[in-house]
C-alpha cells in the first residue's frame, strides 16, 4: 500500500480499480472509487471524493484536487446514450469544495473555490474560473479568459501573470504533496 494509504481510500468497483501514476498522493481521508486514472505527480487532498462508478474519470499529470471536492460522472441511459465521463487535463488546480460532474476540463486551468461545473460542459486550456462560479450543462468556456458568476459569464481576457500562475500552482502542489508523502511514510515506520 502506497504512502501509509487507508485501505478504504482507493477502492475497486465492479472489478475496476483506480490506477495511480508515479508519485500520486491520495490523502488517507480522500476516497477514489472505480474506473479512475490519475496521472503522475497529481494530488488528492483531505475529504475529496472521486467516484468513477458508472463511467470513467481521467485526471492528468500534476493536477491537484483540493479538500472537500466531489468528482463524479453521468451514466449512459436512454436520456443520454453516451453518458458523460469526467476528463481533467494536466497542470489543473481544482480549488476547495468544487463539484465537477461529467464535464471536460483542459490543461492549465484554475477552478476557483466552491465552483460547480456540470454535465457536458467543456473548459478549454488556459481558463480561470472564479470562486463560486456555476458552469451550466453543455457550456463551453473559451481558452484565455476569466469566467465568473452563476451562471458563468466571460469576464475578461487573462493577464500574462495569470497564465504564468497555472504552472506555478501545479508545481507548488507537486512540492507540497511530496512533503506529505514523506510525512506519511515517516508515520508508518
User: 3 pLDDT band (50/70/90 cuts)?
Assistant: low
Q: What's domain 2-188's architecture?
A: 3 Solenoid (2.160)
Give residue 5's pLDDT: 65
What is the domain partition of the chain in residue ranges?
2-188
Res 1 pLDDT > 50: no
DSSP secondary structure letter of residue 107: S
Could you give the CA distance from residue 117 to residue 136 in angstroms, rounded to a whole number? 7
Give residue 187's pLDDT: 87
Give per-residue pLDDT as tens, 128-169.
999 999 999 999 999 999 999 999 999 999 999 999 999 999
Lowest pLDDT segment from 79-83, 113-117, 141-145, 170-174:
79-83
Res 4 pLDDT > 80: no
Amino acid at each position: 500500500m502506497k504512502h501509509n494509504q487507508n485501505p478504504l481510500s482507493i477502492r475497486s468497483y465492479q472489478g475496476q480499480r483506480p490506477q495511480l501514476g508515479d508519485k500520486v498522493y491520495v490523502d488517507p481521508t480522500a476516497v477514489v472509487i472505480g474506473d479512475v486514472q490519475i496521472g503522475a505527480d497529481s494530488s488528492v487532498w483531505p475529504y475529496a471524493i472521486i467516484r468513477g462508478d458508472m463511467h470513467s474519470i481521467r485526471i492528468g499529470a500534476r493536477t491537484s484536487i483540493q479538500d472537500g471536492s466531489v468528482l463524479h460522472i453521468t451514466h449512459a441511459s436512454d436520456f443520454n446514450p453516451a453518458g458523460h465521463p469526467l476528463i481533467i487535463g494536466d497542470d489543473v488546480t481544482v480549488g476547495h469544495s468544487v463539484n465537477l460532474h461529467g464535464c471536460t476540463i483542459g490543461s492549465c486551468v484554475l477552478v476557483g473555490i466552491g465552483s460547480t461545473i456540470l454535465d457536458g460542459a467543456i473548459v478549454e486550456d488556459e481558463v480561470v474560473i472564479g470562486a463560486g462560479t456555476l458552469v451550466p450543462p453543455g457550456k463551453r468556456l473559451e481558452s484565455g479568459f476569466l469566467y465568473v458568476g452563476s451562471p458563468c459569464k466571460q469576464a475578461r481576457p487573462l493577464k500574462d501573470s495569470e497564465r504564468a500562475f497555472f504552472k506555478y500552482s501545479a508545481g507548488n502542489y507537486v512540492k507540497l504533496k511530496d512533503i506529505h508523502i514523506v510525512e506519511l511514510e515517516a508515520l508508518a515506520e
